[in-house]
Chains A and B, each alone.
Chain A
Amino acid sequence: MTDAYIFDHVRSPRGRGKQGGSLNSITPMNLTSQVLRALRDRNNLDTSLLDDVILGCVTPVGEQGANIARVAAIMADYAESVPGKQLNRFCASGLEAVNTAAAQVMSGQSDAAVGGGVECMSRLPMGSDGGAMAIDPQTAYKSHFVPQGIGADLIATLHGFSREDVDSYALASQKRAAEAWANGHFNGSVLPIRNHVGDVVLDHDETVRADASMESLGSLNPAFVMMGDQAGFDDVALQKYPQVEAINHVHTAGNSSGIVDGAAAVLVGNKEAGEKMGLKPRARIRAFASIGSEPTIMLTGPAPASLKALKRAGMSTADIDLWELNEAFASVVLLYMKLLEIPHDKINVNGGAIAMGHPLGATGAIVLGTLLDEMERRDLSTGLVTLCIGAGMGTATIIERV
């Protein structure tokens, strides 16, 4: 099997995902093509060497619809021979895109490709693509569909994570992110996004709160009480988890991932392609895996996905130097740390989506890049990145510096 390497990655900063957010005025197409252009320009990349542009996007409707990957490549003035495809593995789409690019390289059917993703949640709100899962009566009924926040609260209830536990985790995420930004940890990979006259509209992650405190986090109302109680979703979940008397709603806007706009791109290829492009590989993609998990609770996929990828790589958790798990909700990370026995100082060391936001289709590529940058900074050799996924899935990727 051919080895697939990561040569570079670029991401946009993450802008607050509503009107008034700094990226709200930038179209998804514009945002994506700025990132693709940056990936090309900073590497003097001859794009005709690329075999594909694969982008994750979870809400591929309206201006994000109709295969944004191919059209963004055209708009970024990539060689017209470069095709593109959009994929959707919900919250892991950005990582899945990189894995797919790597799979093409590993199988020998591509030499080099871009994987990444985009989501402008301020312009296309979550759920604007509809979907049978929640809406089609037969589907929702059979699968015991509940919104993810209910699943996150159910994880906390089942594993005894208190409001204080999840808030403490959220506070650490904010502090770590603020510190990472202050120390310039993200500088090498974040592309300032510009408007039509060339002014920078955003050059940093907009939702980080350096001044967050347990008091400020503690003052927020639980976000999923109404959904759970009045819309009946708690009861739907308990029919699947009848050992639970009542769901303890601990998640708030403060300890859940932020809604943001963002895009990211990762350059993947084989050794020869690297040589042709004149680029030095930064890491090898050692293994990756996706897995299905119980769909009602929805968010417990990362641990089994990670173990599956580790098994594929012939590794154990002890072989991983640094971990990244997307901070969809605080309880998801707390559970993962508990199950895989990962100390807090080895995971999400620069904070995560609770502080910086989770642009659904892009996040997987962003956290992969964050992991690689930090492995380099700390001079560590192995890292594992994973995300929890809607409808009960997990995707994980193991990288190794070369």
Chain B
Amino acid sequence: MSNTINYTVDADGIALLTFDLSGKSMNVLTPELMQELDALVKQAAVDDAVKGLVLTSGKAAFIAGADIKDMVTAYDRGVTPREGYEFSYALNRTLRNMETCGKPVAAAINGLALGGGLEVCLACHYRVLADHPKAVLGFPEVNIGLLPGAGGTQRTPRLIGFRNAATMVLQCRNQKPQQALEMGLVHELAPVDEVVERARRWVLEKGDAVAPWDKKGFRIPHGDLMHPGTAQTFMVGNALLAKNTRHNYPAPIAAQSAMFEGCATSFDDGLKIESQYFGTLLAGPVARNMMRSLFVNKGKADKLARRPEGIEKSQVKKLGILGAGMMGAGIAYVSAQAGIEVVLLDRDQEYAEKGKAYSEGLLRKAIERGKSTEDKAAALLGLIKPTTNYHDLAGCDLVIEAVFESVKIKADVTAKTEAVVPESCIFASNTSTLPITGLAEASERPEQFIGLHFFSPVDKMPLVEVILGKKTNDEAIARSLDYVQQIRKTPIVVNDSRGFYTSRVFSTFTAEGISMLAEGVDPALIENAAKMTGMPVGALAVTDEVTLELAHKIGKETAAALSRDYPANLSEEVLQKMVEVLDRKGKRFGKGFYDYPKDAKKHLWAGLAEHFPAADTQPEVSELKKRFLTIQALETARCVEEGVLMHAEDADIGSIFGWGFPPYTGGTLSYIDTIGIREFVAECDRMAAAYGDRFKASAWLRERAENGQDFYA
């Protein structure tokens, strides 16, 4: 008896195949499920009692996608492109057999169908989709470094045209039921409890067992490859793809090529081309890195992999936020969004109100875009209470301070808060640089003191860096993580250190760019190299954003705290000169590394050429890219060595979701593992000789390299 698919044949001769993976809440395409599907289709095809087939799911969702368990290990197992091809082509063969079995097959899509799940549907001759907001259809594969490798790149353009297919396959945009119907992705919508009956009825009444592409005279809708409009679609599509990936991501171009090349030939050869491209992706490191960090490990982090065991699940009902600036206001918004009552406290009622107004602004935009309603917005705003009165904090489960980065001010608000909140209340600091252990000294209950480092803008940035002070206890960790989950953010957990993990490593990226400037690298080359590395913003541009003044101030404070000289290196010298001599303090001040003209795009300040003259010979962009990646990865390794980071997964997730370290690398430590730790240390040595001691690998790292010890076991 099957444990993946229930098979029944009714009196009308309809074989009903119900996907129902035993012991799972969601159906995923496993090798066993595909084998059973293949066997059952073959059985139904030769069974004279069967007129046609209906596929549905026994779970709320149809099929959530393929099980990537085997795929994520493929690269490490040394899977070759040819073996990757076989893996994909086996799926294609099964679904193609179903499509050509001679009997009509209808999909009764009762809930969401993603990736391989949608591909199963597309291989059916008819599709009825539940008219339910959660019943979306989409292809997430490209986002994790793969492509739809079970016919998705072949059936989708043949069904809905190249332009729509690109939206789904390359941009990974999910389609809601109404959109799916209008596009032609499904044939009809029906209430959830009627999808099977409608599918049955189609099989009995219409029952066409031939796919459109197997009919004579088939043409791709909205223009085949010979159509001038299609040429335009590909010409612009190719350019945008190169622009967006900066040639770092193999999956989008492979998917685009599979659609283009596969649709210029027979359907059966198209499936082979798709599987060939799939094979090249599966055998490469980028798919491994993206699947592992963006899907597997992010999923684990979202399920609170770092939560200490044995502590009862908690929920924040009332949250206090100290300081209604940019960060406090953002935290208030995301917390109210999760239904939490928020007390937003500032020194001045006007500031507190302004902090609440930030949420109003975001909600207004959401309403304009149709993402929220007046009622919902009003309810959310009703949860935020702007105040100056500490007594309003009474009854808070958690208080997060986001006041000015000063140990003294923070100590003051900590004391005032602890005087009014319940003893059980967790106190969190949103500091981005000050060590938590030191701040906790101002607390009566340092074991309940923790760091919750949010990123700006809070409503957009998915990460929260949870920082443990020396005395932070397990309960504080567990309850903080519960809160992070409550507001639907992804947590990483790190130990205390100056700048913790994310701010510390991110600052090496900006410092490297600024050092390049001092070395005489053309500033445009620095910025383009940073973007070509895959960083979201250039090193100089992002320094302008956070302001040179702040970077300069943190540098000075860090030097003072560590009792070392300032400026002590090229980037610090540049910052000092820019801030103190040239009065170019950053974007907020209207001038930094860039000029900010009122009615034109920002552009690099022409004066840079005078103060930091460009060298006669300029480096290759590939060398600059490598420098940007190496310095960040090396600083991350130092964080591991010092115990700031406890898990490679946290390093990778934190780097990607915290400051936009390029996802194709899998994150800072996956980057090292991918190029190989020995090779990495050799690169560090070469760069230390060429650019300075900041690239020096420690004895600890050297020993790891000698032992070939990867960060992922």
Contact = CB atoms under 8 A, between A and B. Distances in A.
B239 A233 contact: yes
B238 interface: yes
Contacts of A108: none
Given A243-B525, A246-B601, A137 B236 contact: no
B532 A134 contact: no
A298 to B, nearest CB: 14
A243 B247 contact: no
A136 B234 CA distance: 7
B621 A135 contact: no
A144 B242 contact: yes
Q: Binding site of A, secondary structure by majority: helix, strand, loop or mixed?
A: loop
Interface string A118-158: 00000000011010001111101100111000000000000
Contacts of A242: 524-525, 528-529, 532, 621
Contact of B242 (A127, A128, A236): A236
A239 interface: yes
B242 A138 contact: no
B627 to A, nearest CB: 14
Interface string A215-232: 000000000000000011
A127 B235 CA distance: 11
Contacts of B237: 137
Contacts of A243: 522, 524-525, 528, 618
Interface in B215-254: 226, 228, 231, 234-244, 246-247, 253
A210 interface: no
Contacts of A236: 239, 242-243
Contacts of B260: 135-137
A135 B235 contact: yes
B240 A231 contact: yes
A141 B528 contact: no
Contacts of B408: none
B256 interface: yes
Contacts of A246: 601, 603
A242 B621 CA distance: 7
B33 interface: no
Given A127-B231, A242-B532, A137 B241 contact: yes
A231 B234 contact: no
Nearest to B526: A242
B558 interface: no
A145 B247 CA distance: 13
B530 to A, nearest CB: 10
A145 B527 CA distance: 22
B315 interface: no
Contacts of B172: none
B271 to A, nearest CB: 18
Question: Considering residues A137, A140, A235, A243, which has the most beta carbons from chain B within 10 angstroms of its beta carbon?
Answer: A137
Given A140-B242, A141-B241, A135 B532 contact: no
Q: Binding site of B, secondary structure by majority: helix, strand, loop or mixed?
A: helix
A245 interface: yes
Nearest to A139: B238
B527 A232 contact: no
B253 A235 contact: no
B503 interface: no
Nearest to A136: B260
B257 interface: yes
B239 A140 contact: yes
B256 A235 contact: no
A182 interface: no
B540 to A, nearest CB: 11
Contact of B239 (A138, A146, A244, A245): A146
Contacts of B528: 238-239, 242-245
B243 A137 contact: no
A265 B45 CA distance: 68
A243 B621 CA distance: 9
A134 B242 contact: no
Given A140-B235, A141-B238, A145-B238, A239 B522 contact: no
B604 interface: yes
Contact of B231 (A130, A141, A238): A130
Nearest to B621: A242
A232 B247 CA distance: 13
Contact of B238 (A137, A238, A239, A245): A137
A361 to B, nearest CB: 20
A136 B253 CA distance: 10
Contact of B604 (A130, A134, A136, A245): A245
Contact of A232 (B242, B522, B601, B621): B242
Contacts of A145: 238-239
A133 B255 CA distance: 18
B240 to A, nearest CB: 4
B238 A134 contact: yes
Nearest to B528: A242
B13 to A, nearest CB: 45
Given A238-B528, A242-B524, A242-B529, A137 B240 contact: no
Contacts of A238: 528
B354 to A, nearest CB: 36
A244 B524 contact: yes
B527 A245 contact: yes
A134 B235 CA distance: 5
A232 B239 contact: yes
A232 B604 contact: no
Contacts of B618: 243
A235 B242 CA distance: 8
A137 B234 contact: yes
Interface in B306-357: none
A244 B527 CA distance: 10
Interface in A159-200: none
A239 B256 contact: no
A235 B527 contact: no
A231 to B, nearest CB: 5
B525 A137 contact: no
A379 B529 CA distance: 54
Question: Considering residues B228, B241, B242, B603, which has the most beta carbons from chain A within 10 angstroms of its beta carbon?
Answer: B242
A141 B235 contact: no
B529 to A, nearest CB: 6
A239 B533 CA distance: 11
Contacts of B604: 245
7 contacts: A137-B256, A137-B257, A140-B242, A231-B236, A232-B244, A238-B528, A242-B529
Give the top 5 A-B pairs by smallest Cβ distance, nearest first.
A232-B243, A242-B528, A245-B524, A140-B238, A235-B243
Given A245-B523, A246-B603, 10 more contacts: A134-B235, A134-B238, A137-B234, A137-B257, A141-B253, A236-B239, A239-B247, A242-B524, A245-B524, A245-B603
